Amino acid sequence: MRREWEEKQIGIWFYVILFWVLCLIPSVGMLFYGSELAENRELSKVPSPRTEDGRWNSDYFGELQTYVSEHFAFRGELVIADSLIKYKLFHTPSDDQVVIGKEGWLFFGETLADYAGVTMTDSELDQIASKMKEVCDYMKSKGKQPLFVIVPNKNQIYPEYMPARFGGKAEQNNLTLLQEKLQQTGVPYVDAYHLLLEGKAEDELYLHEDTHWNNTGARLVLNEIYEVYGLADRYELAGYQIEENHSPDLYAILFPAEAHFEAQRIYEDGKSCQYIGRMHSVDDIKIRTAADDGNGMSILVYRDSFGRALIPYMGQTFDSVTFHRSTPYDLSMVETTECDYVLIEIVERNLADLGQIQIP
């Protein structure tokens, strides 16, 4: 009996000691090992118990708590482990910005409202359509040929990969209702929604683990843009090579410290373009390109993140292209930029931004 009691006590002490060792490893480990999760923000510095004027820092313990929570040992590894457990075992995201769909497809959480149905009133849609009519009339008055394209959210084109708990895709949405109003008011636009719905039968048009379309989807819509503009230029949709070189944004939200790449379609068109001035990334506010063997025309493109895929293709097609990414749109560029055409590209989830446009 005494032996059983001693064995039980040993077992209790073993678990107590193990518990405290596991609790101490992250903090004590900071003395020997640092693991910081890669983030798009500056992490806190070691706090000082005294302020610059020598007084006691009343926020010291709060700042110390923040510092330890951002710098404790094995932080990156533990965050990845937590995300993997939720993702692999329970099919739940570690961040509400991501929706985990079927067969490895990921979707952007901000698109759920659009997926469920109409989020704008009829009056709001009328105001946007009226505003776009004014914008197009203004551009025409400056001798430019305007065109408007709404890129649908990924789950509008691939609803079959959405989790069943969100139900089916709504029969009506802001995108289709606005396009009907644009048609009524005479605003020239490209119906990317139905174009991509039909085109997905031939090939995949969006990335699995990213918010955006792939290069095939972008080229498919660009062909229609050129058709509406009356240009002879076209892009082949077949003949691509698959390369694991794309860093998917939705996957990066779930696993920010993990290097991961998704397959992207790479096209070799035998053409190239030059970037004018210093370009830091495809997310620069303003990007200018020039092509020696272009089509003799120039274009101004107001774009969002979906416009990244358009840059190299339009850059090699037109003599000069000016891409601008900012909201509200700076329409003064219509007068100050040498261009024959003006394209406004916007994704469905950002349609409300169109109401902020100011005409000079």
pLDDT at 158: 98
Taking the C-alpha atoms of residue 73 and residue 77, their distance in angstroms, rounded to an integer, is 9
Helix or strand holding residue 254 (H, E): helix 249-254
pLDDT at 256: 80
Which tokens in the block code for residue 285? 């506010």
- DSSP conformation class of 87: I
- DSSP conformation class of 45: P
User: How far are the Cα atoms of 73, 168, 213, 256, 264 from residue 156, in angstroms, in the given order?
Assistant: 42, 10, 12, 26, 21
CA neighbours within 13 Å on the CB side: how many for 338?
A: 9
Is the four-CA dihedral 56, 62, 64, 66 of positive or negative sign?
negative
Taking the C-alpha atoms of residue 237 and residue 223, their distance in angstroms, rounded to an integer, is 10
Token pair 């700042």: residue: 63
Neighbours of 27 (CB within 10 A): 12
pLDDT at 27: 54
pLDDT at 306: 97
Task: Specify whether the CB–CB gap between 72 and 29 falls below 8 A.
Answer: yes
Residue at 236: amino acid letter: E
pLDDT at 67: 62
Q: From first to last of the 360 residues of the chain, give the pLDDT tens digit.
A: 566 666 566 666 666 675 655 555 555 544 455 554 444 445 567 667 777 777 777 776 766 666 655 554 555 555 666 666 666 655 666 668 899 999 999 999 999 999 999 899 999 999 999 999 999 999 999 999 999 999 999 999 999 999 999 999 998 999 999 999 999 999 999 999 999 999 999 999 999 999 999 999 999 999 999 999 999 999 999 999 999 999 999 998 888 877 899 999 999 999 999 999 988 999 999 999 999 899 999 999 999 999 999 999 999 999 999 999 988 899 999 999 999 999 999 999 999 999 888 888
